[in-house]
Structure 1
C-alpha cells in the first residue's frame, strides 16, 4: 500500500528543514542566549510638577462624585418646570359619530292630511279681518279636529338616526385660581324619516328635518375663598423653586468638601515627601558614621561593639526609610485617585508638589464673631435651611387657605345656531342671528369638621418650627467648628515655633557631638542618640506644619470660604438638561487666604 503524497513530501523535505534550523541556531550570537545580559529598560516617566491650584482644578474637572451631585440640581430644575406645567393651556378636540335605531309613534298619511285641511279651515274661520288675530275656534270645528286624529291611526315606525359631532375646547388655569374654558361644538343629525319621499317627491315626515347645531361658549370659574389667590395655586412652583435652591446648596457643599479633600491629600503627600528626605538624610548620616566607626576600629581606638551598634542603627534607619517611601507612594495614589480621568498624571513616575504649607505668621482673622458672620453668609447649610423655610412657609399658607369653605363663581356666555347645513349655521352664529345664552351661578361646598385641612395646618406649623430649630442647631454646630478650627490654628502655629527651636537645638547638638567624636571626647552611642533626636525634631516640625495646614483648611471649610481661596465660582443651572457649572480664576498659584 503506497503512502499518501503529502506524507511522502514531508519525509523528503524534513532533513532539509532540520539543517536550516541548526544553521540558524549556530548563527545567533551567544550573548543573546546569556540570561545575565541586561535587558534595556524604558526610561522612567519624567517627574511632574503639580501646584495646589492645578490639583484642585484637575479634581473638579474629572470628579465623578461631583458629576453625580450635579444631577440633583438638574432633577430639581426639571421638577420646577413640571410644576409650571400646571398653568399650560390644554387643547382638547373630539370628532365622532353615533348611529342609533329608534322608534316613533306617528299618524298615517291620510290622518295627517285630513287634520291639516280641517285645521286650515278652522283657522280661516277664526281669523278676525280687522285685527288680523286668530280667535277661539268654533266648538263644532274643534270637535271635528279632535275626531280627525284617532288613536287607532297611530303607527309605530322604525327609523335610523346618525349623529356626527365635533367639539374643541381650550382650557387655561390662571395663577390666581381662575379657570377659563373656551368651547366650540357642532352637531349634525340625519334620519331616514327625512330621506323618505312620497310619490310627489315630498318628504313623508316633514316634522323631522336634518339639522346642524353649532355652539360657541365661554365659561370662567373663579374661586372666592378656598383655592383663591396666589398662595393656593403657586404652592407647587414655590416649593420646587425652594427645592432647586436646596439642590444648588448641596452641590456647593459637595464642591467644598471635594476641594478640602484635595488640599488635605496634597499636603499629606507633600509632608510624606519631606519626611522621606529627612529619613534619607538620617540614613546617609548613619552610613557616614559607620564608615568613620570602622576606620577608628581599624585604628584600634574603639571596640567592635561600637561598630555593631552603628550597623544596627543603620539597618533601623534603612527600614524607616523604606516605610516612609511606602507611605509616600500610598499618599501619592490617594491624591491621584482624587484627580479622576487624568491618565497623564496617573502614569507619572514621580509627582512633585510645588506649593508648601501656609505661613503660620499669616494667620486669618482672629475675631470669632467676624468669622461666624462670614460663615452665615457663605456656608451652604444656611442657604439650604433658608430654602427649606421658604418651602414650609408656602405649604403653611396653602394649608391655611384650605381651612376656608369652597365657594366658586361660575359664569358663562354662548351663541347657539341651528340650520340645515354647516355653512348656514356658521353664518348665523357669526352674524349673531341666533340665540344668546348666559349663566351665572355660585357653587358652595363646606366640609363638616374639615379635619383634613386642620391637620394639614398643624403639620405645616410643626415643620416650620422644625426648620427654625434646625437652624439654631446648625448655627451652634458651625460656631463650634469655627472655634475648634481657630484654636487648632493657634495651637499648631505655636507648635511650629517650638518645633523650629527644638530642631535648631538638635542640629547644634549633632554638630557638636560629631566634632567631639572626631576629637575622641565622646562615644558613638552619644552621636547616634543625637542624630535620633535630630530626626525626631525634624519630623515633629514637619508634622506641626502639616497639622497647621489642615487646621487652616478646616477653618476655611467652617467659614465657607475655601472656594474663595481658589477663585471658584459655582453658577446654578438655567435648564433641566444642564447642571451647575464651576469657574476658576486663570492663575497658576493659589490666592492668599481670603479670611
Structure 2
C-alpha cells in the first residue's frame, strides 16, 4: 500500500526521533538509581526468590492436607468340583442328580473410600466406608452377600516423630527461607544501588579526566609550536623541541587510555541502568556532575548498632542459625526409639440385602450392631543407632559452627564500618587539600611559562609543571569521586543504603 508523501515524511521523522531518543541516555545520579531499580536484571532475577520461597512454604504445609482415596476391585475365581468317584460332591446336591464335572464360581466386588492424613502432633489417621459384594454359586446359585464396613484407624507416635517441633520442622525451615529470600532481595537492591552510584561517579570522573588529559595534550602541543618558532629564530635549541615532542607523544597515549576508560565505564553504567540487549552498545550516555553527599558527624557506635539490625548478610546468618537449631531439635527426636500407639474402630454389617447390610452396620431399626476394634503398640530401635547419633552430632556441630561464623561477621562489620567512616573523613579532607594543590600548581605553571617566554626557564621545567598541574587536577577530581563512593560504601556496610536513597521495598 502506498502512503501519502506527508504521512511518509511524518513516519520517517517519528522513527528518527524515536531512534535518537533510544540512542541517548541523559541521566543524573538520582535518575540513574531510579532506572537501576526499575530495569536492572540482577534485581529482576532476585525478585523471583521470595516468590519461589513462598511457594515452597506452601508446599511444605501440604504434608498436612487430607488425602481422599477411592478404590474399586473386581475378583473372579473358579474351583472344579470333581465327579462322584472322588467322593467330593453329593449327587443329590447336583442339579438333576447328574454326575458331570462342575465348577464353583465366586465373584466379588470391593469399593473403598477413605480420607487419610497427618496432624502436626504426628498422629496419622484413616477414616472411611467400604463395601464388599460376594457371589458364591457353590453355596447357592442365587446367594449374594453384602458386607458394609465403616471405621477409622489412628497411629500416634509417642517418642520418635512426636510433637509439633518435629512435624512442623520443614514448615518452619521454609518460613525461615522465605525471610532469608527477602533479605537477599534487599541485599541485591543495596548492591545495585551502590554499584550504580560508584559506576556513575567513575564515569563522570573518567570523562573529566579525559578533559584534563586533552587539555594537557593541548598545552604540550602549544609548547611544541612555540619551541619550533623559537628554534627557527635561533633562541632555542633543537633539544628543547625534541623534549616537547616526546612529551606530546606520551600525553597522546594518556588521552587514548582515558578515552578507553570512558567507554568501559559507559558500558558498565548501561548494564546497570538499562534492560537493553541488542541496542546496548549503540546507546550513548550523558551524565551530570554528581553532587557531593551531605554527611554530618558520623556516630560510629550508633551506625554499627544499626548495622546489626539492617545488614542483610547479618540477618540472613541469624536466620540460618535458626534453621540449624530447628535441625538439631529434629535430629535429636529422630535419635529416639520408635514407640507408636495404634488403634482402630469399625462397624460391620453383613446381609444378603444391601440396605439391610447398611442398617446392620449403623445399628438403626433395632438391628444388632457388629463392632470391631483393636489397640496396640509398635516399638523399634536400631542397635546401636549409629546413623541417628551421627546425624545429631553433625547437626550440633553445624549449629556451633554457625555461631562462630556469626561472631566473625560481627567483628568484620565493626572493622569494615569503622574503616569506611575513616575513609569518609579522609576523602573529605582530601577535597580541600587537592583544591589548594591544584591552585598552586596552576600558579606555578603560569609563572614557569612566563619565565620560559622571557628566556629564564627551560622546556624541561615547563613540561614538568604542566604534568604537575594535570596531576593536581586529576587528584582533585579523584578526591571528589572517592568521597562520593566512600559515602555510598559506608551506607552499604551499615545497612542504610535504602534509607539514605529514600528507597522503600514492597
TM-score normalised by the chain length of structure 1: 0.71
Q: Hey, what does 1:50 align to over in structure 2?
A: 27
In the TM superposition, residue 161 of structure 1 has moved relative to its aligned partner by 0.6
Q: Hey, what does 2:346 align to over in structure 1?
A: 414
Q: Which of 76, 86, 92 in structure 1 is aligned with 2:69? A: 92
Q: Hey, what does 2:165 align to over in structure 1?
A: 231
Q: Who wins on radius of gyration, i.e. which is larger? A: 1
Aligned in 2, Cα 1:365/1:342: closer, same or farther, shift over 3 Å? farther
The answer as to 2:268 corresponding to 1:334 is yes
The answer as to 2:496 corresponding to 1:564 is no
Aligned in 2, Cα 1:90/1:44: closer, same or farther, shift over 3 Å? closer
Aligned in 2, Cα 1:438/1:354: closer, same or farther, shift over 3 Å? farther
In the TM superposition, residue 350 of structure 1 has moved relative to its aligned partner by 4.0
Aligned residue pair count = 474
Q: Hey, what does 1:270 align to over in structure 2?
A: 204
After superposition, what is the alpha-carbon deviation per residue over 1:76-118, rounded to whole angstroms, capped at 9, x for unaligned?
333322221111111111111111123686655489xxxxxxx
The CA distance in 2 between the partners of 1:436 and 1:224, in whole Å, is 31
Q: Which of 172, 176, 194 in structure 2 is aligned with 1:260? A: 194
Q: Hey, what does 2:326 align to over in structure 1?
A: 394
Within a 5 Å distance, the mapping from 1:314-353 to structure 2 comes to: 314-342=248-276, 346=280, 350-353=284-287
Which runs of 5 or more residues in structure 1 are unaligned?
1-41, 112-154, 197-202, 204-208, 572-595
Contact 2:360–2:369 (CA<8 Å) still a contact in 1?
A: no
Q: Hey, what does 1:120 align to over in structure 2?
A: none
Aligned in 2, Cα 1:423/1:328: closer, same or farther, shift over 3 Å? same
In the TM superposition, residue 288 of structure 1 has moved relative to its aligned partner by 4.2
The CA distance in 2 between the partners of 1:528 and 1:164, in whole Å, is 107
Contact 1:194–1:210 (CA<8 Å) still a contact in 2?
A: no
Q: SS in structure 2 opposite 1:460? A: helix
After superposition, what is the alpha-carbon deviation per residue over 1:436-474, rounded to whole angstroms, capped at 9, x for unaligned?
424252404141544443333322222221111111111
The answer as to 2:108 corresponding to 1:163 is yes
The CA distance in 2 between the partners of 1:425 and 1:180, in whole Å, is 25
The CA distance in 2 between the partners of 1:422 and 1:382, in whole Å, is 68
Contact 1:357–1:546 (CA<8 Å) still a contact in 2?
A: no
Aligned in 2, Cα 1:211/1:344: closer, same or farther, shift over 3 Å? closer
Contact 1:189–1:211 (CA<8 Å) still a contact in 2?
A: yes
Q: Hey, what does 2:178 align to over in structure 1?
A: 244
The answer as to 2:391 corresponding to 1:456 is yes
Of stretches 369-378 and 45-54 in structure 1, the one that deviates more from structure 2 is 45-54
The answer as to 2:33 corresponding to 1:101 is no
In the TM superposition, residue 404 of structure 1 has moved relative to its aligned partner by 3.9
Q: Hey, what does 1:286 align to over in structure 2?
A: 220
* Structural RMSD (CA): 3.2
Structure 1 residue ranges (4+ consecutive) displaced by more than 6 angstroms after TM superposition: 42-46
After superposition, what is the alpha-carbon deviation per residue over 1:324-378, rounded to whole angstroms, capped at 9, x for unaligned?
222212222232233442369836664222242535xx44653332222121111
Which runs of 5 or more residues in structure 2 are unaligned?
1-18, 82-87, 95-99
In the TM superposition, residue 414 of structure 1 has moved relative to its aligned partner by 2.3
In the TM superposition, residue 158 of structure 1 has moved relative to its aligned partner by 4.1
The CA distance in 1 between the partners of 2:246 and 2:389, in whole Å, is 82
TM-score normalised by the chain length of structure 2: 0.83
Q: Which of 446, 457, 462 in structure 2 is aligned with 1:511? A: 446
Q: Hey, what does 1:541 align to over in structure 2?
A: 476
The CA distance in 2 between the partners of 1:228 and 1:313, in whole Å, is 83
The answer as to 2:312 corresponding to 1:380 is yes
Aligned in 2, Cα 1:43/1:266: closer, same or farther, shift over 3 Å? closer
Aligned in 2, Cα 1:220/1:319: closer, same or farther, shift over 3 Å? closer
Contact 1:267–1:546 (CA<8 Å) still a contact in 2?
A: yes
The CA distance in 2 between the partners of 1:422 and 1:390, in whole Å, is 58
In the TM superposition, residue 185 of structure 1 has moved relative to its aligned partner by 0.7
Contact 1:500–1:541 (CA<8 Å) still a contact in 2?
A: yes
Contact 2:362–2:369 (CA<8 Å) still a contact in 1?
A: no
Q: SS in structure 1 opposite 2:121? A: coil
In the TM superposition, residue 291 of structure 1 has moved relative to its aligned partner by 4.9
Aligned in 2, Cα 1:420/1:501: closer, same or farther, shift over 3 Å? same
Q: Hey, what does 1:553 align to over in structure 2?
A: 488
Q: SS in structure 2 opposite 1:346? A: coil
Aligned in 2, Cα 1:316/1:156: closer, same or farther, shift over 3 Å? closer
After superposition, what is the alpha-carbon deviation per residue over 1:50-91, rounded to whole angstroms, capped at 9, x for unaligned?
122332333344433444444544443333222211111111
In the TM superposition, residue 299 of structure 1 has moved relative to its aligned partner by 6.2
The CA distance in 1 between the partners of 2:385 and 2:247, in whole Å, is 86
The CA distance in 2 between the partners of 1:452 and 1:522, in whole Å, is 88
In the TM superposition, residue 274 of structure 1 has moved relative to its aligned partner by 0.6
Q: SS in structure 1 opposite 2:76? A: strand
After superposition, what is the alpha-carbon deviation per residue over 1:458-510, rounded to whole angstroms, capped at 9, x for unaligned?
22222221111111111122222222222222222232222111111112222
The answer as to 2:147 corresponding to 1:213 is yes
After superposition, what is the alpha-carbon deviation per residue over 1:244-290, rounded to whole angstroms, capped at 9, x for unaligned?
33333333333333332222221111111011111222233334445
Q: Hey, what does 1:80 align to over in structure 2?
A: 57
After superposition, what is the alpha-carbon deviation per residue over 1:415-446, rounded to whole angstroms, capped at 9, x for unaligned?
21122232332344345334242425240414
Contact 2:130–2:150 (CA<8 Å) still a contact in 1?
A: yes
Aligned in 2, Cα 1:261/1:98: closer, same or farther, shift over 3 Å? same
Q: SS in structure 1 opposite 2:434? A: helix
Contact 2:363–2:369 (CA<8 Å) still a contact in 1?
A: no
In the TM superposition, residue 178 of structure 1 has moved relative to its aligned partner by 1.7
Q: SS in structure 1 opposite 2:112? A: strand
Of stretches 102-111 and 173-182 in structure 1, the one that deviates more from structure 2 is 102-111
